[in-house]
């Protein structure tokens, strides 16, 4: 569904939801790759994991105490303790060699394998050891199987312990370690190419000078790409030269290409035309503020996002369209990744019906204060803001005092 | 305030809040280090940043159009357009050389520097260009300064743009790029040494076999250390040998040492005694479930946490004590870092007054289901759980049906 674009302004603008639905329908997780166990936290499992071993693989003591045959302790009490012959010690990793016979006990530590013959552990607190005489007095009865962790108590061999699609938590990877995995089959991380164009741009790290400004979009994008679990490919700032931009848009190493700058309909805005020629320009011009000149298309299997050069528009277009796509390619959720909090609105937000607005808000005295919505080039507004409020297309703004849900920019809760 | 510890059980247990307060009072952010700009997202600023330049550093066009002296357009209309001599083009990064004199106009693109002499930009949509004749007809008036971004509109030279203690967002780093920073002065990342002891342990990546189990605690801890913004130092699994453990506890490269295993009061539990000898064992034995054998102390400036060897106890002790300390050392918030959601409780949670419980819960039909609270060794419970509920010490459990706040283990919202 490519759209006609006149040289002066967009013929027709797509709704945000239409573009979102298109992206959702055309995105599926990338193929898998083998990841070393210790690098797999936060990655997405590509296949179910079935345990090939029991954990524990042996009955183990859940206490420091003495391993005995439980029924031999029946009737023991403070007044009438029962005496056992102490025949050895079982430590974690150093089992007692030999079995526990009638009338015998083995000193045992938490986590140590229960010796053959024994079926219970009586806790040290109710025992009196006479190590010189190699004997221990037991003054409480313990039932068979008491204080013993059974084979497979934590994980049973054959159990499906983790399902495909799971984003691995630290403890999931700990569990994979405990069942003997050295590697994990994960959804491949999306590779994202940045195509930053503009004769006015100096690379990050330079000082702005004369008519030159320093690129900030690539810096912001790289932070967001990293947050979204993808890898940014190396890149250069390109001059506004058609051949160079076309070549960069045909990068078949990339799963996603983000083109910043040159996405509008002005004299130097080559990107939309080139994308239409190289592949498809599925959308160009979206009913939203900021970011309305955003373009979305594909070259082969690669998604291409034309992000406006203005920093706030670039950020918002990434968050609405590129971010969810990148996360879904990596097997993650396309939902907004931010924490959310509700605050009453300090002043009304005006918005046109039919248009989706991304409004930065500051926090003052417990109220969300909308920051000037003009000035898409004003990056400092996203720095002053605590987050953003989305005003959906069917809504004509939000009245003063109404509670609004804020997508919080900060990852931490304050203390 | 070291505590007496008898060989069989803890003489006295500290309250969780007491240990938390001790840690809060004794932790301050580490000194600063220089971080390359592109690695600074998520890091914490060590000092305020004051802009040394204006952004933009020149007046720039906010439109595609024509730069003129605004007052010359007064009176222009569709019926009575005013004609200007077209003397050049201003592009972003390629300014027009020369100034705009009376009766002249310069073609200008969004982001391009406004030529000298001009004070306004009239948008292309209300102009008619005759490039052969080098003239442009303007059919609308434009006020001086209209469609021009002033010098310092985004950031003014001398402005304090970011404050010390700020955890840098992607857009903050973008802003630092735009004002010409190549490096950022950040709070140093805490260095965390893992001391994993246990003769029964095989390293992560091995297959469990015989009486040996595979270390999972170091794997879980490394995931959490990374989440908390710290760097894990290289480590080896140590045998339960006093000298080796003492040496590892005296690692002065580390800001925090996490000792897993050997924290209780049993025969092989060297760690608490050694910590008391090498530095201070400030707390040992805490009124909580799981993790009651946790120890907290210091060797010199280094915090040492004695974490129980049982995986769930190790995880909970990290989350209550080590995690907040590590985050605060790195200049971050000590608050729980999890997203939170409330669910009604499917079955009551029983808890003793005076004890803090960390209860894993699963989600079933919109209800939080407490998972068996026994079995601190059952790592799979933290895998099945959606998160944890904290039952504070002054509370005698939580009744069925009551809403509980769950600290969610997953970082993503589902779509």
Do A265 and A231 share a structural domain? yes
Do A210 and A312 share a structural domain? yes
In three-state secondary structure terms, B63 is coil
CB contact under 8 A, B377 and A154: yes
Do B325 and B221 share a structural domain? yes
B174 in any annotated domain: yes
CB contact under 8 A, A170 and B213: no
Q: Which residues of A touch B383 (CB under 8 A)?
A: 161-162, 169, 171-172, 175
**Span A141-148, average pLDDT:** 96
229-268 of B, contacting A, C-beta below 8 A: 240, 264, 266-268
CB contact under 8 A, B213 and A56: yes
Q: Which residues of B touch A377 (CB under 8 A)?
A: 62, 111, 149, 153-154
CB contact under 8 A, A92 and B200: yes
Residue B311 sits at the chain A interface (C-beta within 8 Å)? yes
Do A399 and A274 share a structural domain? no
CB contact under 8 A, B179 and A208: yes
Do B165 and B210 share a structural domain? no
Please report which residue ranges of B292-385 form alpha helices under DSSP H: 311-317, 323-329, 380-384
Among the partner residues B171, B172, B415, nearest to A335 by beta-carbon distance: B415
Among the partner residues B37, B64, B334, nearest to A415 by beta-carbon distance: B334
B413 in any annotated domain: no
Four-CA torsion A375, A379, A385, A386, nearest 10 degrees? 140
4-63 of B, contacting A, C-beta below 8 A: 8-9, 37-38, 41-42, 53, 55-58, 62
> Which of the two residues, A361 and B199, has the higher pLDDT score?
A361
∠B42-B44-B47 over CA atoms, to 5°? 145
B414 in any annotated domain: no
Q: Residue B5's pLDDT is what?
A: 37
In three-state secondary structure terms, A31 is coil
**Are the C-beta atoms of residues A284 and A19 closer than 8 Å to each other?**
no
- Is a pLDDT exceeding 80 seen at residue A4? no
Q: What is the pLDDT of residues B223-280, one digit of tens each?
A: 999 999 999 999 989 988 889 999 999 999 999 999 997 666 566 678 999 999 999 9
Among the partner residues B112, B182, B379, nearest to A171 by beta-carbon distance: B379
Among the partner residues B37, B109, B383, nearest to A172 by beta-carbon distance: B383
Among the partner residues B173, B182, B327, nearest to A223 by beta-carbon distance: B173
Candidates A150, A170, A312, A415: best to mutate against B (most CBs of B within 10 A) is A170
A174: confidence class by pLDDT, cuts 50, 70, 90: very high
161-220 of B, contacting A, C-beta below 8 A: 161-162, 167, 169-182, 198-201, 204-217, 219-220
A198: confidence class by pLDDT, cuts 50, 70, 90: confident
Q: Residue A378's pLDDT is what?
A: 79
B11 in any annotated domain: no
B9: confidence class by pLDDT, cuts 50, 70, 90: low
φ/ψ bin of A79: left (φ > 0), alpha (ψ from -120 to 50), beta (otherwise): alpha
**Span B12-29, average pLDDT:** 96
- Is a pLDDT exceeding 90 seen at residue B2? no
Among the partner residues B109, B169, B413, nearest to A268 by beta-carbon distance: B109
Q: Which residues of A touch B337 (CB under 8 A)?
A: 411-413
Among the partner residues B167, B205, B382, nearest to A412 by beta-carbon distance: B167
A223: CB partners within 8 A, 6+ apart: B41, B42, B169, B170, B171, B173, B174
Owning domain of residue B371: 340-408
Q: Residue B373's pLDDT is what?
A: 56
Q: What is the pLDDT of residues B44-53, one digit of tens each?
A: 999 999 999 9
- Is a pLDDT exceeding 70 seen at residue B404? yes
Quote the distance between the C-alpha of residue B341 and its chain's center.
20
Q: Please state, in angstroms and rounded to a whole number, the distance separating the CA atoms of residues B83 and B295.
A: 84
A266: CB partners within 8 A, 6+ apart: B64, B109, B110
Residues B218-256 as b or e (16 or more Cβ within 10 Å = b):
bbbbbbbbebbbbebbebebbebeeeebbebbbbeebbb
Among the partner residues A173, A217, A264, nearest to B223 by beta-carbon distance: A173
CB contact under 8 A, A378 and B153: yes
B8 in any annotated domain: no
CB contact under 8 A, B410 and A223: no
CB contact under 8 A, A266 and B171: no
Q: Residue A265's pLDDT is what?
A: 59
B346 in any annotated domain: yes
**Span B196-223, average pLDDT:** 94
**Among A91, A124, A149, where does a domain finish?**
A149
- Is a pLDDT exceeding 90 seen at residue A5? no
**Cis preceding-peptide flag for A290 (omega within 30 of 0):** yes
CB contact under 8 A, A383 and B171: yes
Q: Residue B4's pLDDT is what?
A: 38
Among the partner residues A64, A172, A211, nearest to B93 by beta-carbon distance: A211
Q: Of B20, B39, B36, B2, nearest to B327 (Cα)?
A: B20
Q: Could you say which DSSP state residue A374 is in?
A: -
A6: confidence class by pLDDT, cuts 50, 70, 90: very low
Looking at residue A26, which CATH number applies to its domain? 3.40.980.10
A267-276, A280-289, A302-311, A320-329: least confident range: A267-276
Do B198 and B226 share a structural domain? yes
The chain-wide mean pLDDT, for chain A, equals: 93
Q: Which residues of A touch B382 (CB under 8 A)?
A: 169, 171
CB contact under 8 A, B180 and A57: no
Q: Residue A376's pLDDT is what?
A: 55
Residue B96 sits at the chain A interface (C-beta within 8 Å)? no
Q: Residue B269's pLDDT is what?
A: 76
Strands B104-108 and A191-197: unpaired
Q: Which residues of A touch B204 (CB under 8 A)?
A: 37-38, 177, 182
Looking at residue B127, which CATH number applies to its domain? 2.170.190.11
Q: Residue A372's pLDDT is what?
A: 73
Q: What is the pLDDT of residues A227-272, one digit of tens each?
A: 999 999 999 899 888 899 999 999 999 999 999 976 665 666 789 9
Residue B363 sits at the chain A interface (C-beta within 8 Å)? no
**Among B302, B329, B356, where does a domain finish?**
B329
Residue A332 sits at the chain B interface (C-beta within 8 Å)? yes
Residue A158 sits at the chain B interface (C-beta within 8 Å)? no
**Are the C-beta atoms of residues B160 and B49 closer than 8 Å to each other?**
yes
Do B51 and B183 share a structural domain? yes
The chain-wide mean pLDDT, for chain B, equals: 93
Q: What is the pLDDT of residues B287-342, one digit of tens each?
A: 999 999 999 999 999 999 999 988 999 999 999 999 999 999 999 999 999 999 99
Helices and strands (H, E) in chain A, number of each type = 8, 27
**Span B85-114, average pLDDT:** 95
Which residue reads 């799979």 in tokens?
B380
φ/ψ bin of A261: left (φ > 0), alpha (ψ from -120 to 50), beta (otherwise): left
Among the partner residues B95, B204, B383, nearest to A37 by beta-carbon distance: B204
A375 in any annotated domain: yes
A335 in any annotated domain: no
Do A369 and A240 share a structural domain? no
- Is a pLDDT exceeding 60 seen at residue A110? yes
- The pLDDT > 70 percentage for chain B reads 94
Q: Please state, in angstroms and rounded to a whole number, the distance separating the CA atoms of residues A150 and A154.
A: 9
Q: Which residues of B touch A311 (CB under 8 A)?
A: 171, 174, 178
- Is a pLDDT exceeding 60 seen at residue A375? no
CB contact under 8 A, A171 and B382: yes
Do B200 and B171 share a structural domain? no
Q: Residue B264's pLDDT is what?
A: 60
CB contact under 8 A, A379 and B178: yes
Among the partner residues B176, B200, B222, nearest to A93 by beta-carbon distance: B200
Looking at residue B172, which CATH number applies to its domain? 3.90.105.10
CB contact under 8 A, B173 and A220: yes
Q: Which residues of A touch B267 (CB under 8 A)?
A: 64, 109
367-396 of B, contacting A, C-beta below 8 A: 375, 377-380, 382-383
Looking at residue A351, which CATH number applies to its domain? 2.40.340.10
Among the partner residues A215, A226, A382, nearest to B171 by beta-carbon distance: A382
Q: Residue A1's pLDDT is what?
A: 34
- Is a pLDDT exceeding 90 seen at residue A25? yes
Do B180 and B50 share a structural domain? yes
B274 sits in which H/E element:
helix B271-278
Do A134 and A83 share a structural domain? yes
Structurally, chain B folds into a number of domains equal to 4
Q: Residue A268's pLDDT is what?
A: 64
Q: Which residues of A touch B206 (CB under 8 A)?
A: 180, 182
**Span A209-227, average pLDDT:** 96
Do B159 and B144 share a structural domain? no
265-284 of A, contacting B, C-beta below 8 A: 266-268
CB contact under 8 A, B220 and A173: yes
């Amino acid at each position: 569904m490519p759209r006609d674009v006149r040289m002066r302004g967009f013929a027709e603008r797509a709704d945000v939801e239409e573009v979102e639905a298109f992206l959702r329908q055309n995105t599926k997780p990338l193929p898998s790759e083998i990841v070393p166990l210790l690098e797999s936290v936060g990655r997405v499992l590509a296949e179910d994991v079935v345990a090939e071993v029991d954990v524990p693989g042996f009955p183990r003591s859940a206490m420091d105490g003495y391993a005995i045959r439980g029924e031999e302790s029946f009737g023991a009490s403070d007044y009438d303790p029962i005496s056992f012959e102490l025949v050895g010690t079982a430590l974690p990793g150093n089992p007692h060699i030999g079995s526990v016979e009638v009338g015998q006990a083995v000193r045992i530590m938490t986590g140590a394998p229960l010796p053959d013959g024994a079926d219970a552990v009586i806790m040290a607190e109710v025992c009196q050891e006479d190590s010189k005489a190699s004997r221990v007095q037991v003054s409480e009865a313990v039932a068979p199987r008491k204080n013993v962790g059974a084979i497979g108590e934590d994980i049973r061999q054959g159990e499906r312990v983790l399902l495909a699609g799971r984003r691995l938590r630290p403890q999931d990877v700990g569990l994979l370690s405990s069942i003997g995995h050295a590697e994990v089959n994960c959804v491949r991380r999306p590779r994202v190419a940045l195509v930053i164009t503009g004769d006015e741009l100096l690379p990050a790290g330079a000082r702005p000078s004369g008519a030159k400004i320093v690129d900030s979009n690539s810096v912001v994008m790289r932070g967001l790409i990293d947050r979204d679990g993808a890898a940014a490919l190396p890149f250069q700032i390109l001059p506004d030269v058609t051949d160079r931009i076309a070549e960069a848009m045909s990068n078949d190493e990339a799963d996603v290409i983000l083109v910043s700058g040159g996405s509008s309909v002005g004299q130097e805005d080559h990107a939309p035309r080139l994308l239409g020629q190289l592949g498809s320009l599925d959308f160009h011009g979206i009913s939203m503020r900021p970011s309305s000149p955003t373009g979305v298309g594909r070259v082969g299997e690669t998604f291409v996002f034309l992000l406006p050069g203005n920093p706030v528009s670039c950020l918002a277009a990434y968050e609405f369209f590129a971010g969810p796509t990148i996360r879904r390619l990596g097997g993650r959720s396309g939902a907004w990744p931010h924490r959310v909090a509700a605050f009453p609105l300090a002043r009304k937000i005006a918005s046109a019906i039919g248009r989706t607005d991304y409004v930065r808000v500051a926090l003052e005295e417990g109220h969300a204060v909308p920051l000037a919505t003009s000035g898409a080039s004003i990056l400092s507004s996203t720095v002053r803001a605590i987050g953003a409020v989305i005003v959906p297309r069917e809504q004509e703004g939000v009245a003063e005092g109404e509670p609004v849900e804020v997508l919080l920019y900060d990852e931490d809760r304050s203390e």
